[in-house]
Amino acid sequence: MNITEPVSHSSNQRQSLGPVLAIALAAAGYSLLYRLAPAYAAPNLSPVGALCLFSLAFLPLRVAPLVPLAVMAVSDLLLYRWNGWAPFSWVVYLSFAVYGLSGFLWRVRPGALTLVAGTFGSGLFFFMLTNFMVWLGASAVTAPTAGITMWEEPTTKYPHPLIRYSRDIGGLGACYAMALPFYRNTLLGDAVFTSLFFGLALASQRLGVTRAAALDNPS
C-alpha cells in the first residue's frame, strides 16, 4: 500500500464511503470497549488517537469529529456512573483534538510523511501535556520527600499509588521519566491502529476504483 499516492476525492472515492464508514464504526466500537474495560486493556495501548486521525482524514467533515467525540463522551459518562471517575478531562480531549487536526492535515496534504509526522507528533503532544498536568497535581501538595504514598479515592474507595514530585525541573523530569513505559504503549498503539485503519480504508478505495474501471471498460 503506497500511502504517498492516495486515491483522489472523486465519484469513485464517494462510492467507497460505505466501507470507510464500516471501518469507522468498527474502530469506534473497539475504542469504546477499550475505554470501558481498563482492567483488561494494556495502559495507553489505545485505538482512540488513531480513530481521531482516521475520522478527520476520511469521513465527511460534518460528521468526522462526532465519531471519536461520541466514543469519548459515552465512555466517560458510563465510567463516571460505574466507577465515579471524573468525566470530560479537557486535557485528554484537547490531546485527542490534536490527533484530529493531524488527520485533517493528511486530508489536505496526503502522504506518508504527513501521516507519520502527524501520528508521532500527536502522541508526543499527548505525552507532554498530560504528564505535565500530572506533575502539577502531584507536586501541588508539599511532601517531606518525593516518593510513593497510597491514597484512597473518596468516590470509589479504590487505593491508588500517588507519586509526589518536587515542584522544580527535576521533579518534572522525574514525572516524564516515570511515564516513559506508558508513552511506549502510546506510540505502539498509534502505529498499529493508524496503519490498520488507514490501510483498510485505502485498500477499500482502490478496490472501488478498480471495480469502477472494470465496469466502465468491460472486456
Question: Grid coordinates standing for 103?
Answer: 488527520
Question: Is the residue at 5 inside a domain?
Answer: no
Question: Is the residue at 6 inside a domain?
Answer: no
Tell me the mean pLDDT in the region 130-158: 59
Question: Is the residue at 190 inside a domain?
Answer: yes
Question: Is the residue at 183 inside a domain?
Answer: yes
Total number of domains constituting the chain = 1
Question: Is the residue at 30 inside a domain?
Answer: yes
- Band of pLDDT at residue 165, cut at 50, 70 and 90: confident
- Band of pLDDT at residue 1, cut at 50, 70 and 90: very low
Tell me the mean pLDDT in the region 47-67: 97
Tell me the mean pLDDT in the region 103-119: 97
Tell me the mean pLDDT in the region 132-145: 69
Q: Which residues, at least 6 apart from 135, have a Cβ–Cβ distance to it below 8 Å? A: 165, 171, 172, 175, 176
Residue 161's DSSP bridge partners are 150
In this predicted model, which residue has the larger pLDDT, 186 or 18? 186
**Domain, as residue range, for 120:** 11-212
- Write down the pLDDT at residue 216: 57
- Write down the pLDDT at residue 167: 84
Percent share of the chain, pLDDT over 70: 76
Q: Write out pLDDT tens, residues 8-55.
A: 444 444 556 888 999 999 999 999 999 999 888 889 999 999 999 999
- Cα separations (Å) of 75 from 69, 116, 157, 182, 184? 10, 28, 21, 21, 24
